[in-house]
Amino acid sequence: MQLTREFCFDAAHCLENYDPGHPNRRIHGHSFRVRVTLTGMPDDTTGQIVDLSEFGTILEHLREQLDHHMLNEIDGLETPTLENICLWLWEHLSPDLPDLSAVEVFRDSLGQSCLYQGSRHVN
């Protein structure tokens, strides 16, 4: 069984690995949508995988760290690609959400997303 919540944030970044003159090298912004999925079975007492209010509080804490910030300035997001944003979110969510099974980051306006379903032991 899977339980999913989403949140959105707007942020700026630049990708310095692009050639000089490429638009992605300049500071620019995106609206991001994040989908976080837990996999498990409801416990016998609550009938839930996790309390949805607690789940929302954990996600809101991360959203506040990202929303309207320069992603390159956030520790661990110095190269804020979709892939690295997924990994950063996983690393920050997994200690509080042991049933974490997927993190997906979307840039809907560009039709892009990245899905990470890996282990909690990220290099």
Largest CA distance in the chain: 58
CA distance 50 to 66: 24
| CA 31 and chain centroid, separation | 12
Please check if 28 is assigned to a binding site: yes
CA distance 101 to 120: 9
| CA 15 and chain centroid, separation | 18
Please check if 30 is assigned to a binding site: yes
Residue found by looking up tokens 């959203």 in the block: 63
Please check if 92 is assigned to a binding site: no
Q: Which residues are annotated as a binding site for Zn(2+)?
A: 13, 28, 30
Q: Which residues are annotated as a binding site?
A: 13, 28, 30
